[in-house]
Amino acid sequence: MMNTTQLKSFNSSGIEAFCKFLQSQRENAEGPTRDELLEDGSLIEETGFGIDIENRTFRTRRDAANYFHDRFRSISAEQLRRDAGLWSWLSLYYFDQVCPVADGCRRIRNDYTYVYMPNQSIYYYRHLLFIAWYVRFVTPKHNRLFLDTSLHRLDKFTTEVMKRLYLTRIPCVFEVLDRLYWDTSEDGPRKGVITPNRMVAGDLMHRFPTRIRQLEKTYDLLSLTADQLIELLGKEFSRFDRLSTATPMVV
């Protein structure tokens, strides 16, 4: 039977202590242990949600996303999006999974990977646990590009899409991305469309965001279906589409 504990949230002192814990881990310095921080009442706020969570293993980001989606049904999405203390506390609770030991050592990444910063637009989507829940929230169906991956690192597909709010606000965009960039023959993301140092026709990193910005000057992208948006994107992108049944646009 799995160990359970009641969901908690770090207060401001707890978040500060967590940041110091991360630094001490990087430096192999003495400091409070994970368990000591989790049990220190002066660092914790009771959430009042009455939710128990399990000390369980997540094989993928999808496992974590589904678990949090199920557990947090009684909490409003807006509360979850704002709660820095809750997601930061969860990161420490599941620390061995978001920051696993490999070859005898633990690689501590930037603080924002574990400390949730909801008011920082360049950091909020980099929090490993929050982004798992958030992807499941914003796209319950077309999400395999972002969830069928490991939990302990942030992949480029997720980064390139989630950092651009103008993309995630388009209702059909996740279906479009799935149709264009999921390679069914490989059962995984299409290769060659994330190219940091060069632009490639139809790529996700450079051309897709640019083309969307061009189209939104002329069209109401929020009202389009996936078929219609793919048609507007043009052959540069539609050549990737595994479904070639675009509905003609009426303009």
Instruction: Give DSSP secondary structure letters for 64-132.
Output: HHHHHHHHTTTS-HHHHHH-HHHHHHHHHHTHHHHS-EETTEE----GGGTS--TT-TTTGGG-HHHHH
Q: Verify that 85 and 135 share a domain, yes or no.
A: yes
Number of domains in the chain: 2
The residues with which 31 forms a beta bridge, in sequence order, are none
Q: Verify that 137 and 168 share a domain, yes or no.
A: no
DSSP-derived secondary structure letter, 4 = E
pLDDT of residue 2: 73
Residue with tokens 């949090």: 68
DSSP-derived secondary structure letter, 59 = S
- Tell me, yes or no, whether 155 lies in a domain: no
- Tell me, yes or no, whether 47 lies in a domain: yes
Sorting pLDDT into bands at 50, 70 and 90, what band is 244?
Answer: low
pLDDT of residue 249: 43
Q: Which residue range forms the structural domain that includes residue 101? A: 1-141
pLDDT of residue 230: 97
The vertex-53 CA angle with 95 and 26, nearest 5°, equals 10
Sorting pLDDT into bands at 50, 70 and 90, what band is 251?
Answer: very low
Does pLDDT of 17 surpass 90?
yes
Q: Verify that 113 and 233 share a domain, yes or no.
A: no
- Tell me, yes or no, whether 49 lies in a domain: yes
- Tell me, yes or no, whether 134 lies in a domain: yes
Q: What is the pLDDT of residues 182-236, one digit of tens each?
A: 999 999 999 999 988 899 999 999 999 999 999 999 999 999 999 999 999 999 9
Does pLDDT of 12 surpass 60?
yes
Q: Verify that 178 and 248 share a domain, yes or no.
A: yes
- Tell me, yes or no, whether 150 lies in a domain: no
CA distances 110 to 31, 105, 171, Å, are: 19, 16, 31
